[in-house]
């Protein structure tokens, strides 16, 4: 923050507090000749019901004084005035947060650590590691259910983790890599192919999973699938490529929907999916348990 904006924020903040102090003082002071019960405004209803302009009760105005004094003390002790850090030097990312995280790591770290040397596959399948799976489940419900759902079956645009269909591979190592490092899946837009070619491609792709389509369109789409670059990601047989996160188009599992209309939309506009990396947030031991739980869902 530049010195100008720093000073500008301080002036605005302090000026507003002082202005509020003055306004309350001005409101509370008694003026010469002012009636104790307030002035009549001249508004009359039902023949004799008059509206008075009575001053606010003093106890009410003193409450405003209290809030302003509290604000002044708060801004002196904590950040709030430009780049001024406050007399206490408090920061949400400073020592308080670090101390809390350190204390949590000392308390809970050994609990996660005791399973770190056990292979993911063993944690996911062997009965004696039920505790580890429960810990992984709790981690999942904290960090993953927002996208994949509490039952891990996902929704449109978020994959189902409880089946055996995997974009980036479903081995323990691949799942652990996905959680730790994240994934970026991109289906580029192919609007340049034109509506007719896209409609033919959609018909062909839909036919691969057993849908009833126009056979002439599907045949034309098969040729376009080869010549328009689709095989570069999805393969000649359209079964996909886990190295690229390219889905298998021959099964009945669809991330965004498998109707001709949605397939046509996907080809035209493309898709972009991001799985954020969790390694820095959770650490290796928690990622290990989380991978074990996710792997267990498909076993």
Interval 278-291: pLDDT, tens: 999 999 999 999 99
One domain, residues 74 and 217: no
Residues 31 and 45: beta-carbon distance below 8 Å = no
One domain, residues 123 and 258: no
Q: Is residue 36 part of a domain?
A: no
Please state, for a pLDDT cut of 70, what percent of the chain lies above it: 95
Per-residue pLDDT at 48: 79
One domain, residues 286 and 268: no
Which phi and psi (to 5°) does residue 272 adopt? -140, 120
Whether the CA torsion 78, 80, 85, 87 is positive or negative: it is: negative
Q: Is residue 101 part of a domain?
A: no
* Host domain of residue 6: 1-22+52-88
Residues 143 and 282: beta-carbon distance below 8 Å = yes
Per-residue pLDDT at 34: 55
As a whole number, mean pLDDT of residues 14-37 equals 78
Q: Is residue 293 part of a domain?
A: yes
Beta bridge partners of 114: none
**174 burial via Cβ count (<10 Å: 0-12, 13-18, 19+):** middle
Per-residue pLDDT at 40: 72
One domain, residues 174 and 208: no
Q: Is residue 47 part of a domain?
A: no
1 band by pLDDT with thresholds 50, 70 and 90: low
Per-residue pLDDT at 282: 94
Per-residue pLDDT at 286: 96
As a whole number, mean pLDDT of residues 149-172 equals 94
Per-residue pLDDT at 54: 73
Q: What is the CATH number of the domain that holds 236?
A: 1.10.760.10
One domain, residues 259 and 178: no
Q: Is residue 32 part of a domain?
A: no
Give residue 199's region: left, alpha or beta (phi > 0; psi -120 to 50).
alpha
Q: How many domains does the chain have?
A: 3
Per-residue pLDDT at 131: 95
One domain, residues 84 and 2: yes
Please determine, for residue 37, whether its predicted confidence score (pLDDT) is greater than 70: no
Per-residue pLDDT at 150: 95
One domain, residues 121 and 139: yes
Q: Is residue 241 part of a domain?
A: yes
For the whole prediction, is pTM greater than 0.75? no
Per-residue pLDDT at 33: 55
One domain, residues 150 and 15: no
One domain, residues 286 and 219: no
One domain, residues 151 and 18: no
Q: Is residue 213 part of a domain?
A: yes
One domain, residues 253 and 291: no
Q: What is the mean pLDDT of the chain?
A: 90
As a whole number, mean pLDDT of residues 60-71 equals 92
One domain, residues 210 and 285: no
**164 burial via Cβ count (<10 Å: 0-12, 13-18, 19+):** exposed
Q: Is residue 45 part of a domain?
A: no
């Amino acid at each position: 923050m530049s010195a100008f904006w720093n000073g500008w924020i301080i002036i605005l903040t302090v000026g507003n507090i002082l202005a509020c102090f003055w306004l309350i003082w001005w409101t509370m002071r008694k003026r010469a000749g002012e009636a104790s019960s307030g002035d009549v405004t001249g508004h009359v209803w039902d023949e004799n019901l008059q509206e008075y302009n009575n001053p606010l009760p003093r106890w009410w105005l003193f409450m405003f004084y209290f809030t302003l004094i509290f604000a002044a003390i708060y801004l002196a002790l904590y950040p709030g005035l430009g780049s001024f850090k406050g007399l206490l030097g408090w920061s949400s990312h400073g020592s308080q947060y670090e101390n809390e995280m350190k204390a949590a790591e000392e308390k809970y770290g050994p609990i996660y650590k005791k399973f770190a040397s056990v292979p993911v596959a063993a944690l996911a399948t062997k009965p004696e590691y039920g505790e580890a799976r429960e810990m992984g489940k709790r981690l999942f419900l904290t960090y993953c259910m927002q996208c994949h759902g509490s039952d891990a079956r996902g929704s449109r645009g978020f994959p189902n983790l409880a089946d055996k269909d995997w974009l980036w591979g479903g081995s323990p190592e691949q799942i652990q890599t996905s959680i730790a490092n994240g994934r970026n899946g991109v289906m580029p837009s192919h609007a340049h192919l034109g509506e007719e070619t896209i409609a033919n491609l959609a018909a062909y792709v839909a036919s691969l999973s057993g849908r009833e389509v126009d056979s002439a369109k599907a045949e034309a789409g098969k040729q376009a699938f080869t010549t328009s670059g689709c095989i570069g990601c999805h393969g000649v047989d359209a079964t996909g490529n886990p190295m690229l996160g390219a889905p298998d188009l021959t099964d009945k599992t669809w991330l965004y929907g498998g109707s001709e209309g949605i397939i046509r939309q996907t080809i035209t506009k493309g898709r972009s999916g991001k799985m954020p990396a969790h390694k820095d947030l959770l650490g290796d031991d928690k990622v290990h348990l989380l991978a074990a739980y996710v792997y267990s869902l498909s076993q």
